[in-house]
């Protein structure tokens, strides 16, 4: 028997839910069953797979109230949970629309006139997906949908910190027997994730750099592909030519939406010194308008800090910054309200790169602002990071485009913030320690789940010129 794991409610601090990880032997057996079922799933063809996914979507819509309630209990927030469900449902439609073209095999002539090429792809039989707690539903399904359409079987292990949504998802899944055999949600923590990696053919991991490294090592030992989507410390650069009203509103949203618990949150802001004072006064004024979603989930915009360990990290970064001379203009404390941990939008100035708040992932609603005098300095500060997930630039479009070319990150939003959270069409790779592997966004995302197979056909009935028996 494996040990049950108690789950904390982020609003009340009470441990009011329990998950029971599968024993390793049963998980290995489940993987074998999924791999067997994958054969029929692949044979079903794309049309059949699309039909099954659409049936699942309809079943999820019927479970919507339960799913919303579970997500609210997992994360303590309402509007973001609704957004998560909507984005997940629309991602099923988007992938079902795109897949037919993306999965088409092609026949080609080759450089050798009598050899034809059939370029085909075959799915990896079993994909393992390991996801974090900050967007429990979205991040456990973002890779699941394209993998299923590609013809893979999928086993998902969501975070042990936010696992309540699995129950309604599984109820909906049970309504679609064809899909139920090839899609399984399992409960558990790191140990279960690590056993999963030992039993799958490809792993998609979203989480911290520290765990990502362990996942990459485990996958490398088995020679299986590992797609890693890891942490970030996204910079925003604001030039004198920026529209200030627009920049402060966008940066506020990009920094504190979901209480800053997003990999692509703006976590450091560099502002031209000529507009620095005006910028931070405006940002502070706008930050003051936001309230905590307390005492009810509908009270305000800022939900609780979901993971208790994250509250300690945010507090440590703030303390470290203040000890080194930073000034806090609003927020700045972790409050205990009703048993949950909360932090109001926090603006800091007098910050520099000796501080954790400017160099390590904070994952909270914290906006440290630093002035710069030249564009070169701004770019060099933005690139002074082990991370390279995404970034934002606010300036005239021409200036911003030039800066975007120089920033070491996979996606740059211009005159807006965190656009990759909303728009999934642009392909991007994580730079530096923010990840590894093919793009999770755009058409390339689906192709990650296929192995290419070249079928080479000799089309004439004469000896090839390079064979031995051609010599006269």
Paired strand residues for 342: 335
Q: Measure the CA angle with vertex 371, ends 368 and 377; round to 5°.
A: 115
Q: Is 60 exposed, middle or buried, given 0-12, 13-18 or 19+ CB atoms closer than 10 A?
A: buried
User: In the complex, what is the shortest distance from the CB of residue 65 to ligand NAD, in angstroms, rounded to a whole number?
Assistant: 26
Residues 235-294 that bind ligand NAD (CB under 6 A): 263
Residue 215 Cβ vs ligand NAD, minimum distance, rounded to whole Å: 5
Out of 230, 269, 283, 418, which residue is the one contacting ligand NAD (CB under 6 A)? 230
Nearer of residues 44 and 189 to ligand NAD, judged by Cβ: 189
Asked if 206 interacts with ligand NAD (CB under 6 A), we say: yes
Task: Give how many residues touch ligand NAD by CB under 6 A.
Answer: 28
Among 189, 313, 328, 414, binds ligand NAD (CB under 6 A): 189
Q: What is the largest CA-CA distance in the chain?
A: 92
**How far is it, in rounded angstroms, from Cα 398 to Cα 64?**
45
Q: Which of 71, 215, 370, 409 binds ligand NAD (CB under 6 A)?
A: 215
- The span from the CA of 104 to the CA of 176, in Å, is 26
x/- map, 121-140, ligand NAD, by CB under 6 A = ---------xxxxx----x-
Of the listed pieces 85-93, 223-231, 408-416, 443-451, which binds ligand NAD according to CB under 6 A? 223-231
- 36: exposed, middle or buried (C-beta count within 10 Å: 0-12, 13-18, 19+)? middle
Q: Annotated catalytic, 229? A: yes
Give the DSSP per-residue string, 405-438. HHS-SSEEEESSS-GGGT---S----EETTEESS
Contact 454, 407 (CB under 8 A): no
| Interacting span for ligand NAD (CB under 6 A) from 51-59, 227-235, 296-304, 401-409 | 227-235
Cβ proximity to ligand NAD, 228 vs 355, nearer residue = 228
Q: By three-state DSSP, how is residue 204 classified? A: strand
- Contacts of residue 363, defined as CB under 8 A and 6 or more positions apart, other chains included, come to 134, 260, 261, 265, 310, 313, 314
CB of 438 to ligand NAD, least distance (A): 13
The 383-402 contact track toward ligand NAD, x by CB under 6 A, reads ------x-------------
Least distance in Å: CB of 389 to ligand NAD? 6
Nearest residue (beta carbon) to ligand NAD: 193
Token pair listed for 25: 């032997």
**Which residue from 256, 237, 247 is spatially nearest to 415, judged by alpha carbons?**
247
Residues classed as catalytic: 229
Name the residues that contact ligand NAD, by CB under 6 A.
130-134, 139, 157, 159-160, 189-190, 193-194, 197, 206-208, 211, 214-215, 229-232, 263, 361, 389, 435
């Amino acid at each position: 028997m494996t040990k049950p794991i108690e789950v904390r409610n982020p609003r009340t601090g009470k441990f009011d839910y329990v998950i029971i990880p599968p024993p390793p032997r049963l998980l290995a057996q489940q993987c074998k069953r999924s791999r067997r079922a994958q054969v029929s799933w692949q044979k079903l063809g794309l049309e059949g797979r699309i039909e099954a996914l659409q049936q699942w979507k309809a079943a999820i819509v019927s479970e919507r109230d339960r799913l919303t309630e579970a997500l609210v209990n997992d994360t303590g927030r309402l509007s973001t949970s609704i957004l998560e469900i909507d984005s997940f449902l629309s991602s099923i439609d988007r992938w079902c629309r795109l897949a037919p073209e993306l999965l088409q095999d092609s026949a080609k002539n080759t450089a050798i006139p009598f050899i034809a090429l059939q370029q085909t792809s075959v799915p990896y039989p079993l994909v393992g997906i390991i996801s974090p707690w900050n967007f429990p539903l979205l991040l456990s399904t973002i890779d699941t949908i394209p993998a299923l359409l590609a013809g893979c079987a999928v086993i998902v292990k969501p975070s042990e910190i936010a696992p309540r949504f699995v129950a309604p998802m599984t109820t909906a899944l049970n309504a679609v027997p064809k899909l139920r055999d090839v899609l399984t949600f399992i409960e558990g923590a790191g140990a279960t994730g690590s056993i999963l990696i030992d039993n799958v053919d490809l792993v998609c991991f979203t989480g911290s750099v520290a765990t990502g490294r362990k996942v990459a090592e485990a996958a490398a030992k088995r020679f299986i592909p590992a797609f890693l989507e890891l942490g970030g410390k996204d910079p925003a650069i604001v030039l004198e030519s920026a529209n200030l009203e627009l920049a402060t509103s966008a940066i506020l949203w990009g920094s504190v939406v979901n209480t800053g618990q997003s990999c692509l949150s703006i976590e450091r802001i560099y502002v031209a010194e000529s507009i620095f004072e005006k910028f931070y006064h405006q940002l502070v004024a706008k930050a003051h308008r936001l309230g905590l979603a307390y005492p009810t989930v509908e009270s305000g915009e800022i939900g609780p800090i979901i993971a208790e360990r994250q509250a300690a990290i945010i507090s440590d970064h703030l303390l470290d910054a203040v000890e080194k001379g930073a000034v806090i203009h609003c927020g700045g404390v972790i409050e205990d309200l009703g048993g949950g941990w909360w932090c109001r939008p926090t603006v800091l100035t007098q910050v520099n790169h000796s501080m954790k708040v400017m160099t390590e992932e904070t994952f909270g609603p914290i906006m440290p602002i630093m002035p710069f005098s030249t564009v070169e300095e701004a770019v060099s500060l933005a690139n002074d990071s082990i991370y390279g997930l995404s970034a934002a630039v606010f300036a005239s479009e021409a200036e911003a485009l030039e800066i975007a070319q120089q920033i070491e990150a996979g996606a740059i939003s211009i005159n807006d913030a965190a656009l990759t959270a909303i728009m999934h069409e642009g392909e991007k790779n994580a730079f530096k320690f923010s990840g590894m592997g093919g793009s999770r966004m755009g058409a390339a995302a689906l192709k990650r789940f296929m192995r290419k197979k070249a079928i080479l056909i000799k089309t004439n009935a004469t000896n090839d010129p390079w064979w031995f028996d051609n010599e006269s």
